[in-house]
Amino acid sequence: MGEAKDRGTFQERRELAQRAAPDMNDMPDVECKCGSIVFQPALRIKRISPILSKIGKEETATMNVVVCAKCGEQLLGAVLSNMK
Ligand SMILES: [Zn+2]
Task: Write out pLDDT tens, residues 44-82.
Answer: 999 999 998 888 889 999 999 999 999 999 987 765 544
Could you tell me the distance, in angstroms and rounded to a whole number, from the CA of residue 39 to the centre of ligand 1? Answer: 8
Q: Report which residue type is found at 32.
A: C
The verdict on pTM exceeding 0.85 is no
**From ligand 1's centre to the CA of 75, what distance in Å?**
9
Distance, CA 67 to ligand 1 centroid (Å)?
8
C-alpha dist (Å) from residue 23 to 35, 43, 49, 61:
22, 28, 43, 34
Neighbours of ion ligand 1 (CB under 5 A): 32, 34, 36, 68, 70-71, 73
Distance 78 CA to ligand 1 centre (A): 14
Cα pseudo-dihedral 46, 51, 56, 62, rounded to 10: -10
Nearest to 63 by CA among 83, 33, 78: 83
